[in-house]
Amino acid sequence: MQLIQGQPGPKERAIARHEVREIEQRHTMDGPRQDVALDEEDDMVIIYNRVPKTASTSFTNIAYDLCAKNKYHVLHINTTKNNPVMSLQDQVRFVKNITSWKEMKPGFYHGHISYLDFAKFGVKKKPIYINVIRDPIERLVSYYYFLRFGDDYRPGLRRRKQGDKKTFDECVAEGGSDCAPEKLWLQIPFFCGHSSECWNVGSRWAMDQAKYNLINEYFLVGVTEELEDFIMLLEAALPRFFRGAAELYRTGKKSHLRKTTEKKLPTKQTIAKLQQSDIWKMENEFYEFALEQFQFIRAHAVREKDGDLYILAQNFFYEKIYPKSN
């Protein structure tokens, strides 16, 4: 029997449970932490609810490469059949794990799940959300070929659509379901969340909610096309996790080398046909909104010199401090 990608079998579950027990036992040997208050940085949790085919594996590899050196844990959230919407009971379990699992703090959680509002569950300290999005047509094209040919990260793994040689252009010309405009509707619902309206294709409310969450609930959202700058900003702002990330991205042997195999760029005619749909217009509006916000943040955090970007030093200080100490 062949396992569906993303659905853990008994062996994978057993290995995961063993890994968790090992870590918990190691912490127990070091001394109990249940009643010990963690300092601010060690109590930090980051959630990267990664959108498929946005360079998410490339970025996550950096987190894995740095976790031992920077002393934090990385955990993959593996949902059955990669379903991005959790049941209500799983939402409760997940929130409880994230907030009370001290052995896994500081923690970096990543997985293909839509945004979950921790405030709904009465949590006092919410996790830090980060994410990366991509030009919607480029993302769909990459996902289309990924399902057929895989990538150079795990070349031997059999993909769901393996054997289908039809190009993306041919799919669009024939009106195929795998390249339909409805398949573009993914980044908006990932940011919108677990409400039913988020997953109604073409919902204006969903797009507005996704924009609201991006601004108010996410620490930083980057774009695939400018991933190095996203990593550089994270290192400057959250060095507890990302110290050394920018250098690793530039020089690492594996962190940013994942490429979809056999990908053929679509023709101008194919792109123009997809761009006629209202769904593309909404997903593209959301992408442009995210890009503008990211570039705004970057413009206030870095300066360019001789073609290179440099993080600005601290640009504020305190004065006129009263009452004066004796």
- Find tokens 């409805």 and name the residue: 182
Question: 308 has which bridge partners?
Answer: 305
**Which of 73, 112, 256, 300 is flagged as catalytic?**
112
Query: Do the Cβ atoms of 179 and 171 come closer than 8 Å?
Result: yes
**256 among known catalytic residues:** no
Q: Is 18 a catalytic residue?
A: no
Backbone dihedral angles phi then psi of residue 8, each to the nearest 5 degrees: -70, 135
DSSP category for residue 184:
G
CB 239 within 8 A of CB 69: no
Query: What one-letter code names the amino acid at 80?
Result: T
CA distance linking residue 117 with residue 126, whole number of Å: 9
Spatial separation of the C-alpha atoms in residues 56 and 273, rounded to whole Å: 28
Taking Cα atoms as reference points, which of 127, 152, 116, 136 lies closest to residue 52? 136
Query: How much helix, strand and coil, in percent to the nearest 5, is found in the chain?
Result: 50, 10, 40
Instruction: Given the residues 18, 27, 73, 110, select the one marked as catalytic.
Output: 110
How crowded is the C-beta side of 175, counted as CA atoms within 13 Å?
0
Please give the order of strands across the beta sheet that includes 218-223: 73-76, 107-110, 45-48, 128-133, 218-223
Alpha-carbon gap, residue 243 to 197, rounded angstroms: 39
C-alpha torsion angle, residues 97, 105, 236, 39 (rounded to 10):
120
Catalytic amino acids? 110, 112
